[in-house]
Amino acid sequence: MDIDDITARRSGGDIQSLGAWRGQVLLIVNTASRCGFTPQYAGLQALQDRFAGRGFSVLAFPCDQFGHQEPGDDAQIRSFCETTYRTTFPIFAKIEVNGPGQHPLFAHLKARKGGLLGSAIKWNFTKFLVGRDGTVIERFSPITTPESIALRIEAALAAPPPAG
């Protein structure tokens, strides 16, 4: 399976193919609104602002599997992100990133880039950098700030676009 073949529900309810971002560099993040890492939304938006014009996007996937830190419904989550952090990047519907109900996207990402202690995601704001060709370049822990990923995004954006 290729990342372009995966679909996910947007926070507004529509089903979206990740193929819509074919040829772009992506930073895919499992997020939560009531987490100590929630202020990273500001850094994620800064990356979106800085690199969107060059073929980059953050994709946020709210998840309530860690400490019940994402209790709201999809509309509440989207409203929180837009009003508190002025987010403009896509916010998807709440998903699971581990276990039998895990979303296929996160099964795909984890299969390609396991973590330090196995493939399971351990907390909110785990980040996956995906290249223009759909390759999972790197996995970043929740403590890795968005700002510290900027040089890796630069390098991914500088890579030649996929053929065809």
Q: Are 28 and 130 in contact (CB under 8 A)?
A: yes
**Element holding 64 (H helix, E strand):** none
Name the token pair of 116. 């330090």
Helix, strand, coil distribution of the chain in percent, nearest 5: 35, 25, 45
Q: Report helix, strand or coil for 131.
A: coil
Check 8, 25, 32, 35 and give the catalytic one: 35
Owner of token pair 């390759």: 135
DSSP, collapsed to helix, strand or coil, labels residue 57 as strand
Give CA separation, 50 vs 47, 98, 136, 149, 159, in Å. 5, 31, 21, 12, 17
User: Does 35 participate in catalysis according to the annotation?
Assistant: yes
Task: Just list the catalytic residues.
Answer: 35
